Amino acid sequence: MKVLLTHVEDDWTEFPNDETRVFADTEKGFSAAMDFVQASIPWEEKHMKMYYKDCTNKISLETRALLKHTLNEDDSISSFDCEERFPAKFYFCIRRTDVEEG
C-alpha cells in the first residue's frame, strides 16, 4: 500500500519541530499532508515582521498544484520546490512510499 510520509522540521529556538506523519496516498490525504505542513510553519507575527521579512506561513494554491504535479512525477517533494520563503529554516518533505499492510 502506498502512503505519503510527511516530515517537517525547523530551528525555531523556543519550540523546535521535528515531526513525521503518515497520510493516505489519495487526493484527501495529499490535502491533509499539505495542511499539516502549513500548520507546522513557525509563526509569531511581531517576530516575523522584525526578523523574517518576505517570509510567509501560507502555501499558495498555485504552489500546492505544482507540488501535487511534482509528487506525481517524482514521488517526492520538499520545501525546495516552493516559491514561498519560510522562516526559521523551516523544511518539509513529502515522499510517496510503500508500506506493508498487516
Residue-wise pLDDT tens digits, 21-47: 999 999 999 999 999 999 999 888 887
Cβ burial of 75 (10 Å; 0-12, 13-18, 19+) is middle
More confident: 75 or 100: 75
In which band, very low, low, confident or very high, does the pLDDT at 52 lie, cut at 50, 70 and 90? Answer: confident
The C-alpha cell at 34 is 499539505
In which band, very low, low, confident or very high, does the pLDDT at 51 lie, cut at 50, 70 and 90? Answer: confident
Q: Where are the domains of the chain?
A: 2-98
Q: Would you say the pTM of this structure is higher than 0.85? A: yes
Mean of pLDDT over the chain? 91
